[in-house]
Amino acid sequence: MSDADLSASWPAAATRFVALRLQPGDDLRRALEAAFAAAPETAGFVAACIGSLTGARLRPAGRDDPLAVPGPLEIVALSGTLSAEGPHLHLAVSDAEGRMTGGHLLPGCTVRTTAEIVLGLTSAVAFRRADDPRTGYKELFLHPNDTR
């Protein structure tokens, strides 16, 4: 691994934005994975997301087991990257009392009323995930002007 794998830049004009509206019953993570898989671009990121969930499955920091969060829930924030090897997505939700919970977005987060999402997609760089011996996790590596 070199420092070149850790940083990349590209002009904004090289990014295509795609808006999605998910329907009740859709799985948030699966829908994001499917949208990226259907796109020709080699890298993606979540630019914006609002909506609601019937419940959430998250993996908080420092835990290996999933956390089930009962709904209804509002999506307060969703951020992360999309790559051919899979997404790395963090979700923050709030319940009816305004309590917030967050963690890694897992399958099983079902849309309640809607999820309005804007994705940024580009082929100016390829996002790749590979084992990083320093962390023990599959981490993001950047490959400018690579192809999927």
| DSSP line for 107-136 | TT-EEEEEEEEEEEEESSEEEEEEEETTTT
86-103: pLDDT as tens digits: 999 999 999 999 999 999
Q: Which of 114, 68, 116, 61 is nearest to 90 (CA)?
A: 61
Put simply, whether the predicted model's pTM sits higher than 0.75 gets the answer yes
Q: Percentage helix, strand, coil, to 5, in the chain?
A: 10, 55, 30
Which domains, from first to last, does the chain contain?
28-144 (3.30.1330.80)
Confidence tier at 9 by pLDDT (50, 70, 90) = confident
Burial of 127 (0-12, 13-18, 19+ CB in 10 A): buried
Average pLDDT over residues 11-40: 97
Render pLDDT for 94-147 as a digit per residue (tens, 0 to 9). Answer: 999 999 999 999 999 999 999 999 999 999 999 999 999 998 888 998 988 744
- Predicted confidence at residue 3, as pLDDT, reads 53
Q: Which helix (H) or strand (E) holds 106?
A: none
